[in-house]
Chain A
Amino acid sequence: MINISNLDFAYKKTKLFTNLSLELKAGNIYGLLGKNGAGKTSLLKIISGLLFPDNGIVNVNNFIPQYRDPDFLQDIFFLPEEYYLPGLNAEKFQKTFAPFYSAFDEKKFMELLNEFKLPMDQKLNSFSYGQKKKFLISFGIACNSRIFLLDEPTNGLDIPSKTQFRRIIASAGTENRLIIISTHQVRDMENLIDPIIIIDEGKVIFNESIEKVTDKLTIKKVTDKPATATVLYSEKEIDGYKVVMTNKDQGQTEIELETLFNTVVTNPEGIKSVFNGGSINENK
């Protein structure tokens, strides 16, 4: 569905991506993680045709995004972190914008607005940040685009809305649809995003399913500081240490996304070795 190969991209003289390749398939809710400035938002913008690659090929649903063909644009919905909504109410917004999306589902849109308890008659530009976000999530899902890109979708949402968001996105994730969620709020995304993509220093350093992660890695709590040669990552906690190690006994333990992210970013070579069939000890 999305094929990126050998992508180079720079902002003036600041290189962001060098030779980045990525293949994303329908039927998944991808979590796109990375440090600040790693290029998560830029990658989403390249996929949606808002930024153009300097080199390499980006193919989305057999379209070249930078041409911004209408058939391509109506099959992709991008919810950015910062957005603008005009001074229209929900009904007028729908009348103005929905005709551009041939698969728009008005019934679904109304259902979602009701679920988020958004007023129909209030002007959208007078909504709070969180309400605006909920409105656009509702509109985006109702557009029935096969690709749904969300940049920091839970920022500004209150706790009940985050729960609603997870439920709505989980139910929107059909086998024909590809959802990419770029986020720092990894705790909000537990049990929602799978596979996990981590980008760092212009490259994809991790792209694995949760199942594979729990197969390959295990997380343990120990009281004494572990020997660094046997662990991929450790962090101090109040009552000891949290340790990420290679899973050798084939049992599966749940891995928190935050811990996984820290492990991958601090020890990319160790992780690479584990996921390419070796083990951390062989790598050392």
Chain B
Amino acid sequence: MKTNNIISLRRFLYLLKRDILNNINTTLIVFGAVTAVIYLISALTAYDRAPSDYLYFTIFTNLLFAGGLIATSLVFKEMHKKETAQNYLLLPASNFEKFFSRLIISTAGFAAVTLVGLTIISYLSEGINTLIFNRHNQIFNPFTKKIWVLMAHYFIAQSVFFLGAAYFRKHNFIKTINIIFILQILVTTITALFVRIVYFDLFEGFFRIENTSLLIQLEKLSLGAVSLTGLLNTLKVLYWIIPAPLFWTIAYFRIKEVEVKNAI
């Protein structure tokens, strides 16, 4: 297989441009509506005697997680819809380029637009608020650690919804949420049963731990040579490095095997 058939920068840039322009009208309408809502919230908050220091951080969190995850769920709509699937699949770009273009748009692209857009909106809104009310909320500052940690969490959550977007044909967002919910119940149940069986001597009733607080009891726990703190640190590291690449890779393989008989 020639390398050119996997990734070509020129072709990828054309594809990226096409993918962005494909939804530009909807994007602009949503952007306009969101801007109007943000200004309204900002004006109402500034009108209050005690303008908020955290207004834009809260808005950013909501935009990134609610907006970003919904947008991610729709990222492969063109590939699943009967009318558009054929055009998309036959477009002369590789499966990897098609995957990567949508990945860039829904991760770095969405985060960057949100970050820059909100910064500009916050400057404009608070400028207007200062003129009208003579006071303003704190301007959005994208250069804080909190923002970048939040974005890292978004990339991990996004990977799950990206897989859902590639996998499900319809109602991707709701279906992904349902799957997460079911998995969460399963994991919680299995963990609870595991702890109840392995550490049975710590329990008084069916699920009641004797004496002191749960945290103190948990600190006593160990799994052989591995301390619980060590285990938690390992899980934290795994959380940062495993899920996103794993779900993105599965999504890529899903895109490779899409046929038009799957389109509805």
Residues of A in contact with B (beta carbons under 8 Å apart):
11, 45, 48-52, 68-71, 73-74, 76, 78, 80, 82-84, 86-87, 96-97, 99-101
Contact = CB atoms under 8 A, between A and B. Distances in A.
Given A70-B11, A71-B4, A99-B14, A51 B259 contact: yes
B83 A78 contact: no
22 contacts: A49-B90, A50-B86, A51-B260, A51-B261, A68-B89, A69-B5, A69-B94, A73-B90, A73-B92, A73-B93, A82-B83, A83-B83, A84-B83, A84-B87, A86-B22, A87-B25, A96-B17, A96-B21, A97-B18, A97-B91, A99-B11, A100-B14
A49 B260 CA distance: 9
Given A69-B5, A70-B8, A71-B4, A78 B90 contact: yes
A87 B257 CA distance: 29
A251 to B, nearest CB: 46
Interface string B226-262: 0000000000000000000000000000000101110
A70 B92 contact: yes
Interface of B: 1-2, 4-5, 8, 11, 14-15, 17-18, 21-22, 25, 82-84, 86-87, 89-95, 97, 257, 259-261
B14 to A, nearest CB: 5
Contacts of A70: 4-5, 8, 11, 92-94, 97
Q: Is the interface of B mostly helix, strand, loop or mixed?
A: helix
Contacts of B82: 82
A61 B82 CA distance: 27
A69 B89 CA distance: 11
Nearest to B1: A69
A11 B83 contact: no
A11 B93 contact: no
Contacts of A100: 11, 14-15, 91-93
Contact of B89 (A11, A49, A84, A101): A49
